[in-house]
Chains A and B, each alone.
Chain A
């Protein structure tokens, strides 16, 4: 059971796109879960991320440095 999803990125176009795709993915999977956008650079770095956008599910890196594809996102929620 997923508790928390974080999208890390300083608000660039790719990061916004990532957050958008995740929201759509959650809706499609019918899951309600907390989605946090981490935009502060200090916080991103403290989480050990060097490439944005990055997606963390319950603190675990699912992808970094790119926009995940819709099918990839779907696989995380299964």
Chain B
């Protein structure tokens, strides 16, 4: 990844040094370089990744995912559900109808949760921003981990047999028949392009603020102090990262450039990744919606299992960080 954007890095450096006479070795120069380079890089990657993933996703509407899942049972059901969670387009406001649709089709509660846990964690915007900030390896590791958390979370929920904590009316509902419209290529392209516009429109502002803060950290923050408080050796860092992440929701994507700058200064990569997972998987709006179909107790189990998994993963990444970067 770093190699692909070397030209951009050089270009920005050239612009700063030849154009404005600011050396990138200076504090101001280092900050400005980070700011301009990161904005361009992240926007390019966001555009391309969201487009490609959205195009792929147009082949997997939840209705189709549901049909596929009806054919799997046991652990393979969880694995399939978690994998399909990657490709099925999904926003938190659809979590309730999807939940009902799955349960009504006889898909086990735990398998449904495998899907519901992975789907928001592995989203195109998070993937693109991670790719831009940390490169391929971390982005792929993030996806794989998201899938594993979904599989484990769903299996645990199955094991606990928590069907009694699903609101009764869910089991009485009958899903209506609705034809799935076949899309042609032009429609898929339009869909993907609209998705790029929608997501970039939603997060660009937060990204720029995040990149701005990241740039300041890059030029000015004292590395030893940060490494001491939020480095991989501080046992509380991951926990705090997750707790802070929960109420932030997806706008927190803007924090990734901050994390990028912090990691250069010694903050643990696991801390940054678990923070990001917490913002997506445990988002408050999604939980409020899910409350309509499941009782508070099940919601609590879901949050506990997912939260714990994310924290464990965070520590794990901090331990193996040296092999990742």
CB-based contact B97/A49 at 8 Å: yes
CB-based contact B173/A42 at 8 Å: yes
- Please report the number of residue pairs spanning A and B whose Cβ atoms sit closer than 8 angstroms: 73
Bound complex: CA of A64 vs CA of B98, how far in Å?
12
From known contacts A14-B93, A50-B62, A61-B178, infer whether A45 and B101 are also in contact, taking CB-CB under 8 Å. yes
Instruction: Give the dominant DSSP class at A's interface.
Output: loop
B177 CB contacts on chain A under 8 angstroms: 48
Query: Which of A10, A61, A65 is the one whose CB lies under 8 Å from B96?
Result: A10
Most chain A C-beta atoms within 10 Å of own C-beta, residue among B93, B98, B176, B289: B93
B288-302 CB contacts (< 8 Å) to partner A: 289, 292-293
B174 CB within 8 Å of chain A:
yes
Query: Which of B94, B175, B179, B181 is the one whose CB lies under 8 Å from A51?
Result: B94
Closest to A43 in B: B176
B67-122 CB contacts (< 8 Å) to partner A: 89-91, 93-94, 96-98, 100-101, 104
B277-325 CB contacts (< 8 Å) to partner A: 289, 292-293
Query: Taking the nearest CB of chain A, how far is it from the CB of B146, in angstroms?
Result: 21
Query: Taking the nearest CB of chain B, how far is it from the CB of A25, in angstroms?
Result: 16
Query: Taking the nearest CB of chain B, how far is it from the CB of A49, in angstroms?
Result: 6
A45 CB contacts on chain B under 8 angstroms: 97, 100-101, 104, 173, 175-176
CB-based contact B178/A65 at 8 Å: no
Bound complex: CA of A51 vs CA of B98, how far in Å?
7
From known contacts A10-B93, A10-B289, A65-B89, infer whether A46 and B175 are also in contact, taking CB-CB under 8 Å. yes
Q: Mark B165-199, 1 if CB is under 8 A from A, else 0.
A: 00001000111111101000000001100110010
CB-based contact A50/B97 at 8 Å: yes
A48 CB contacts on chain B under 8 angstroms: 175-178
Query: Taking the nearest CB of chain A, how far is it from the CB of B203, in angstroms?
Result: 14
CB-based contact B175/A52 at 8 Å: no
B218 CB within 8 Å of chain A:
no
A1-47 CB contacts (< 8 Å) to partner B: 9-10, 12, 14-15, 41-42, 44-47
Query: Which of A9, A14, A41, A51 is the one whose CB lies under 8 Å from B61?
Result: A51
B265 CB within 8 Å of chain A:
no
Bound complex: CA of A48 vs CA of B177, how far in Å?
5
B101 CB contacts on chain A under 8 angstroms: 45, 50
A-B contact pairs, 10 of them (CB 8 A): A10-B96, A12-B93, A46-B176, A48-B175, A50-B66, A50-B98, A51-B97, A52-B93, A61-B178, A61-B179
Besides the known contacts A49-B97, A50-B97, 19 further A-B residue pairs in the complex with CB atoms under 8 A apart:
A10-B93, A14-B91, A14-B93, A41-B96, A44-B97, A45-B97, A45-B175, A46-B173, A47-B176, A47-B178, A50-B61, A50-B98, A50-B101, A50-B175, A51-B61, A51-B91, A51-B98, A65-B62, A69-B194
